[in-house]
């Protein structure tokens, strides 16, 4: 262990005092947590909400712009932003107004609204693919795209990267055996009975040779990938990786599906657009409609023709694609407003400028404190990584995992009014994030570094 990596004792000591601090300053959240135990599993509406580093659940009173106010009336600069759902800020006024108007005019009809054609045009303009379908979540969109890809290629296999997360999509919830490269069940998945090694292949990110081997037998319907891994720390692509990977997919007749649910934070229109990757399918969820339950998937004209042919060739009946509320009137109105007012060059220019400031401030402090850590940034999102270099693949992240340091950082910041994403140390900057929010985070990071140094001396 490096001389500048905090010891387990130091971390445990600071963690204990931060837990006490949270308990003293959040009496109302503690009372609500107690009350919620009676009717919610784990005391929360979704069990992930207990994955925050707090001794009890933090309850929200209000979220507006980049500020989240908890039930105890404490304001937090929110760099979690609903793990990307609120990437454009909480309740942007244009979205709130569109929702109020549509709410009085029908919520769901199993028919397209009169505004639907305009939304299709906006999606095509923004993301560069001509044809679209709607779902309620990115998990749904990914599941349905896998189904389409297998149907139109008549190939059984799908390929993903080790460390991937594409939502609650069974085929992708697998790991890779680091020595043999075989597909393994992900041990944490509950109720898993299917053997996905039969139909899912996994390769390390940034490994073109492994990718080529996986594609070589012509059995892979699609490669489903994020442009950068964002759910296993932030792992960016090597220079030239995607140009070569794109070419390999074409060469082997494998469709390229880009899941831009998180990487839409890269630039206006997402990473694939900015880097000219020309995917066959593109998936965007979470923030696409400003945080309403909505995701979209787009595809090329050639792929669309094959989808139509597959549907027409199938007997009448369930397609296994779609859910009743997909494309409902309320989310279509939200999407329309979001595409008009949130996905704008002006918003991205603000987000990227503040994200650059934050990255530079963190890097400077890490260097000054001589800690073996780094910051990796992709547009408006970045990851504070407790390892000395930007990782190249999931195994690199596993090899350097510092769970205790992460947990302490999260709780320490939360106790001082700054929220990071609970699942890892992701920070996201919204159009509503102010320079003062960035300064606040940097000041709290200074305090954390000072507390670590004091604890190490004592
Ligand atoms: C890249 C990516 N795709 C898909 C999903 C699934 O999104 P949802 O949980 O909204 O279905 C996630 C969730 O974190 C994600 O990170």
Q: What is the pLDDT of residues 244-283, one digit of tens each?
A: 999 999 999 999 999 999 999 999 999 999 999 999 999 9
Calculate ∠ Cα 395-397-400, nearest 5°.
110
Nearest to 196 by CA among 164, 222, 157: 157
Q: DSSP secondary structure string, 299-328?
A: E-HHHHHHHHHHHHHSPSS--S---TTTT-
When pLDDT is averaged across residues 186-191 and rounded to a whole number, the result is 96
Instruction: Provide the pLDDT confidence category of residue 127 given band limits of 50, 70 and 90.
Output: very high
- The pTM for the full model equals 0.97
403-414 vs 8-25: helix axis angle to the nearest 10? 30
Domains of the chain: 8-78+345-457 (3.90.1150.10), 93-341 (3.40.640.10)
- Nearest residue by C-alpha to atom 5 in ligand 1: 167
- Nearest residue by C-alpha to atom 9 in ligand 1: 167
Q: What is the pLDDT of residues 74-108, one digit of tens each?
A: 999 999 999 999 999 999 999 999 999 999 999 99
User: What is the enclosing helix (H) or strand (E) of 435?
Assistant: helix 435-457
What is the percent of the chain where pLDDT is above 70?
99
Q: Ligand 1 site: residues with CB under 6 angstroms?
A: 137-139, 142, 165-167, 226, 231, 259, 261-262, 285-286
* Residue 113, pLDDT score: 97
Distance 81 CA to ligand 1 centre (A): 14
83 CA closest ligand 1 atom index: 14
Distance 446 CA to ligand 1 centre (A): 32
Helices and strands: H and E segment counts in the chain: 14, 16
d(CA 79, CA 117): 34
Phi/psi of residue 60, each to 5°?
Answer: -100, 135
Instruction: Provide the pLDDT confidence category of residue 392 given band limits of 50, 70 and 90.
Output: very high
* Residue 2, pLDDT score: 46
Nearest to 396 by CA among 159, 163, 225: 163
* Residue 458, pLDDT score: 80
pLDDT for 29 beyond 70: yes
- Nearest residue by C-alpha to atom 13 in ligand 1: 167
* Residue 116, pLDDT score: 98
| CB burial readout 352-378, b (16+ within 10 A) else e | bebbbebbebbeebbeebebbbbbbbb
When pLDDT is averaged across residues 151-180 and rounded to a whole number, the result is 97
142 CA closest ligand 1 atom index: 4
> Burial, 112: exposed, middle or buried (Cβ in 10 Å; 0-12, 13-18, 19+)?
middle
The mean pLDDT of the chain is 97
Instruction: Provide the pLDDT confidence category of residue 140 given band limits of 50, 70 and 90.
Output: very high
* Chain position carrying tokens 């880097």: 275
* Residue 4, pLDDT score: 79
The answer to whether the CB of 424 falls within 8 A of the CB of 407 is no
Identify the DSSP state of 54. S
Distance 261 CA to ligand 1 centre (A): 6
Instruction: Provide the pLDDT confidence category of residue 5 given band limits of 50, 70 and 90.
Output: confident
pLDDT for 380 beyond 90: yes
Q: Which residues contact 159 (CB under 8 A, 6 or more apart)?
A: 200, 201, 202, 203, 211, 214, 215, 220, 222, 223, 224, 254
Phi/psi of residue 10, each to 5°?
Answer: -60, -45
- Nearest residue by C-alpha to atom 4 in ligand 1: 166
262 CA closest ligand 1 atom index: 1
User: What is the enclosing helix (H) or strand (E) of 133?
Assistant: strand 131-135
Instruction: Provide the pLDDT confidence category of residue 424 given band limits of 50, 70 and 90.
Output: confident
Distance 138 CA to ligand 1 centre (A): 5
Instruction: Provide the pLDDT confidence category of residue 318 given band limits of 50, 70 and 90.
Output: very high
Q: DSSP secondary structure string, 259-280?
A: E-TTGGGSSTTHHHHHTT---S
Q: What is the pLDDT of residues 225-238, one digit of tens each?
A: 999 999 999 999 99
* Residue 1, pLDDT score: 42
> Burial, 240: exposed, middle or buried (Cβ in 10 Å; 0-12, 13-18, 19+)?
exposed
What is the percent of the chain where pLDDT is above 90?
97
Instruction: Provide the pLDDT confidence category of residue 173 given band limits of 50, 70 and 90.
Output: very high
Q: Where do the H-state alpha helices sit in 40-137?
A: 93-103, 116-127
Q: Where do the H-state alpha helices sit in 175-280?
A: 208-215, 241-251, 270-274
pLDDT for 119 beyond 80: yes
Ligand 1 pocket test target in 135, 136, 143, 286 with most atoms within 8 Å of CB:
286
* Residue 446, pLDDT score: 98
Going by their DSSP bridges, the two strands 60-64 and 131-135 should be labelled as unpaired
The answer to whether the CB of 239 falls within 8 A of the CB of 211 is no
Identify the DSSP state of 84. G
């Amino acid at each position: 262990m490096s001389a500048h990596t905090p010891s387990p004792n130091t971390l445990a000591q600071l963690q204990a005092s931060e837990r006490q601090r949270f308990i003293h300053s959040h009496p109302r959240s503690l009372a609500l947590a107690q009350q919620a135990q009676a009717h919610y599993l784990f005391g929360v509406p979704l069990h992930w909400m207990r994955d925050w580093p707090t001794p009890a659940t933090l309850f929200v009173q209000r979220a507006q712009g980049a500020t989240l106010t908890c039930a105890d009336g404490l304001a937090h600069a929110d760099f979690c932003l609903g793990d990307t759902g609120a990437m454009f800020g909480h309740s942007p006024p244009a979205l709130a107004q569109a929702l109020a108007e549509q709410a009085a005019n029908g919520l769901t009809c199993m028919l397209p609204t009169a505004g639907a054609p305009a939304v299709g045009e906006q999606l095509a303009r923004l993301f560069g693919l001509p044809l679209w379908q709607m779902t309620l979540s990115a998990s749904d969109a990914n599941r349905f795209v896998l189904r389409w890809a297998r149907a139109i290629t008549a190939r059984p296999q799908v390929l993903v990267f080790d460390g991937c997360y594409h939502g609650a999509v069974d085929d992708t919830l697998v790991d890779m055996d680091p020595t043999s490269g075989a597909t393994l069940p992900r041990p944490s998945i509950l109720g898993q009975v299917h053997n996905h090694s039969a139909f899912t292949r996994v390769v390390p990110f940034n490994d073109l040779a492994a990718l080529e081997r996986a594609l070589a037998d012509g059995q892979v319907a699609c490669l489903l990938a994020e442009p950068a891994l964002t759910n296993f720390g932030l792992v960016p692509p090597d220079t030239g990786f995607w140009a070569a990977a794109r070419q390999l997919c074409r060469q082997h007749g494998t469709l390229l599906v880009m899941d831009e649910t998180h990487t839409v934070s890269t630039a206006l229109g997402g990473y694939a657009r900015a880097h000219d990757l020309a995917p066959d399918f593109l998936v965007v969820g979470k923030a696409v409609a400003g945080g309403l339950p909505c995701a979209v998937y787009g595809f090329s004209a050639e792929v669309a023709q094959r989808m139509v042919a597959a549907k027409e060739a199938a007997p009448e009946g369930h397609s296994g694609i779609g859910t009743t509320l997909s494309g409902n009137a309320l989310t279509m109105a939200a999407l329309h407003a979001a595409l008009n007012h949130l996905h704008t060059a002006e918003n991205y220019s603000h987000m990227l400028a503040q994200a650059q400031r934050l990255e530079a401030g963190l890097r400077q402090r890490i260097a000054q404190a001589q800690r073996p850590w780094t910051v990796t940034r992709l547009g408006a999102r970045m990851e504070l990584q407790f390892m000395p270099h930007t990782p190249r693949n999931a195994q690199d992240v596993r090899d350097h995992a510092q769970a205790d340091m992460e947990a302490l950082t999260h709780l320490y910041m939360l106790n001082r009014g700054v929220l990071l994403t609970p699942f890892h140390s992701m920070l996201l900057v919204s159009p509503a994030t102010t320079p003062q929010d960035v300064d606040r985070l940097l000041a709290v990071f200074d305090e954390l570094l000072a507390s670590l140094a004091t604890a190490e001396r004592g």
